Chain A
Amino acid sequence: MAASAEVLSQAFTLGYTYTRSTGPIVGQFLTSLRNRKMVGIKASDGKVLMPPVEFDPVSAAALTEFVDLPDSGVVKTWCWVSHPRKAHPSDKPFAWAMIQLDGADTPMLHWVDAGEEVAMSTGMRVKVRWAEETKGLMGDVNGFVPDAMALLGDLKPNDATDTITGMEAPIYLTYNFTAGKATAQYLHSIKKGQLVGQRCPNCRNVYIPPRGSCAACGVPTVEEVVLGNKATVESFTIVYIPIPGNPIKPPYVIANLVLDGANLSFLHLLSECKNEDVRIGMRVEAVWKPEEEWGYAMENIRYFKPIDEPDMAFSEIGKLIDEGK
């Protein structure tokens, strides 16, 4: 299918490490987990809530009174994960369960390592399987197991005495990103060394990179316009701070550039000139990478460099050019 040949997809990971501060209540619960102890919290009505929440779900009062709890209880409800996902805490089939610890009035969510689904039932008794090493995280509970299961393993004591106030929470999510139709067409052109924009059927302005629509008119754009390598500096900044993951060494110039025949600027690097000589209205042209390095990216253009042409008048930059010209 011709259309599918145009589709450009690529996986990318949206990943950040978050460092959360826990506040005193969550912190104390995590501190207890690190010591392989369960604690609940007393609600306004006297019920013991698990895990300890900061604020009463009914009265909204701030809760403070912790209650020691045993590390065993009853499965109130559960479901069976026959094909665990990569992010899940177990790579073998397991159960998610709401488990009510003895002495608690509400169940808490965790997972149960029961081996197979037939071993699971509502009302079954389970106990915590503590991690060999504890860190002050929910994962210090290495799942629950059926009460009858003998627990072996070497539990290393955790000697930390400080109260936990923070936790690491790395979140990595993988997406398969697909470029929009206009972007894909544009990138196919740029892979061939051509800059192709789109013209709005309504206001006649030319956009590059094209996005398949004119944001001003709210209409789709289809007509393609081949543009050249020359551009004008609409404005610029000299960046002095390093960007993580960006190989360019500061200070460098990022300019808003309007290609000849286009009506909207895009950002690109400006080089082969002194930073202090860069000015609004300056004429520049694209310096392409060697053809064998071309990919589906604006980075095929290494940067723009000044050319020996008179500056463009401020009032002319990016203005709609008469189509007759």
Chain B
Amino acid sequence: MRDVAIVAFAQSNCQRDAGAQNEVELIMPVLQEVYKQAGITNAQDVDFTCSGSCDYQQGAAFAFVAGVDALGAVPPIKESHVEMDAAWALYEAWLKIQMGHAESALLYGFGKSSPGELPIVLSQQLDPYYLAPLWVDSIAFAAMQARTMLDSGAITELDMAEVVARSRNNALSNPYAQLKSDGDAASLLDEPMYMSPLRRHDCCPISDGACAMIICTVEKAEEWGKPYAVIKGIDHRIETHHIGSRDLSRSVSTEIAGKAAGVASGPVDVAELYAPFSHQEIILKQALGLSDDTVINPSGGVLAGNVMMASGLSRVGEVAMRIIRGEAKRGVAHATSGPCLQQNLVTVLEAK
């Protein structure tokens, strides 16, 4: 596979409620920012555009169509959309570059979750006969997953709190984060249970926002004269929806994707893992075989701000920008979707 360069990345603030900003108003500033970074004018200057979003977040069918209004798509552009996190839009664009149908691509993800009751909305992504009618939500499945691990001794509540404390501490240096604090793990354990065994801080917050990225061939990046990070491997996998058949203490699909993306073929300086719940970071770290030398979620991760449909792509962007800034040589980014990490995407990035 040919190397693909990430030359630009921008994200909005993670806001609990973006209020009167509609989708276009959320997207436009991050698009302008990546155009500036890449030194281009608009979507007309790339060969392909792809986005990720979910109609049900805003509660409107075809919500993604409004996104096209932000692109300046006159004359018409080559464009596509996944009803998934925009990390999968990155994958679609990466394939286009691999097959030679594009040399450059613009990607963006956006989500405005604030209007709805997100856990209840997400309950409707489960089996429509057995699960959705009970309105069991994604937090409940995560909580049961955490208890499985606590019961088996694989983790302790302190382990979970340490993930949260590190996330919030790291977020202090992330201007886009929603939740940040300098508290320690022990004090977090004093907090009351939210959905036992999860405390509220074990769960990612609900955020509105958007992010955008520009990728291209290495040749194009050199031509543009922009610094870049290189996608060395990328793979995504899904596993069974029959949760009772899964070993909830593992993420088998992440293991497969990590192997296929080549995580183990070098040291990993930094990893951004899409773990919406604290214990899932521990599962993912194991699934990817990351050692204690790897800095995990230096941005604070999604526990500090989670723009559904954009956060996965933002994980890739966070790693890429650290590599571009010279803070890391090799990194891993992960995105997820579905209950208990059902679907996962892993990207391996390196400095040029």
Bin chain B's interface residue count: 35 or more
Report B's interface with A, CB cutoff 8 A: 19-22, 24-25, 28, 31, 42-43, 56, 58-59, 68-74, 114-117, 119-121, 123-124, 128-137, 140, 143-148, 151, 193-198, 240-245, 248
Q: Are B115 and A20 in contact (CB under 8 A)?
A: no
* Cα–Cα distance between A174 and B242 once the two chains are bound (Å): 28
Total A-B pairs, Cβ < 8 A: 173
Q: Are A175 and B151 in contact (CB under 8 A)?
A: no
If the complex has contacts A169-B128, A177-B115, are A49 and B24 also in contact, measured as CB distance less than 8 A? no
Q: Are A218 and B242 in contact (CB under 8 A)?
A: no
User: Which residues on A sit within 8 Å (CB–CB) of B143?
Assistant: 79, 96
* Cα–Cα distance between A171 and B126 once the two chains are bound (Å): 13
If the complex has contacts A77-B151, A122-B151, are A213 and B131 also in contact, measured as CB distance less than 8 A? no
* Cα–Cα distance between A174 and B244 once the two chains are bound (Å): 30
Q: Are A106 and B242 in contact (CB under 8 A)?
A: yes
17 CB < 8 A contacts A-B: A57-B245, A77-B248, A79-B146, A85-B117, A89-B135, A96-B143, A106-B242, A108-B244, A109-B130, A111-B134, A138-B130, A178-B20, A179-B22, A180-B20, A181-B22, A182-B22, A212-B25
* Cα–Cα distance between A3 and B72 once the two chains are bound (Å): 27
Check: A147 CB closer than 8 A to any chain B CB.
no
Q: Are B244 and A177 in contact (CB under 8 A)?
A: no
CB distance from B349 to the nearest CB of A (A): 29
* Cα–Cα distance between A22 and B130 once the two chains are bound (Å): 11
Residue of B nearest to A96 (CB): B140
Bin chain A's interface residue count: 35 or more
Contact of B20 among A82, A111, A179 (CB under 8 A): A179
If the complex has contacts A175-B58, A177-B115, A213-B70, are A106 and B244 also in contact, measured as CB distance less than 8 A? yes
User: Which of A96, A176, A179 is the most central at the interface, judged by chain B CB atoms within 10 Å of its CB?
Assistant: A96
Q: Are B135 and A78 in contact (CB under 8 A)?
A: no
Residue of A nearest to B58 (CB): A175
User: Which residues on A sit within 8 Å (CB–CB) of B197?
Assistant: 79
| 6 closest A-B pairs by CB | A218-B72, A180-B22, A79-B143, A106-B244, A57-B240, A87-B135
CB distance from B153 to the nearest CB of A (A): 12
User: Which residues on A sit within 8 Å (CB–CB) of B20?
Assistant: 3, 6-8, 178-181, 184
Residue of A nearest to B133 (CB): A138
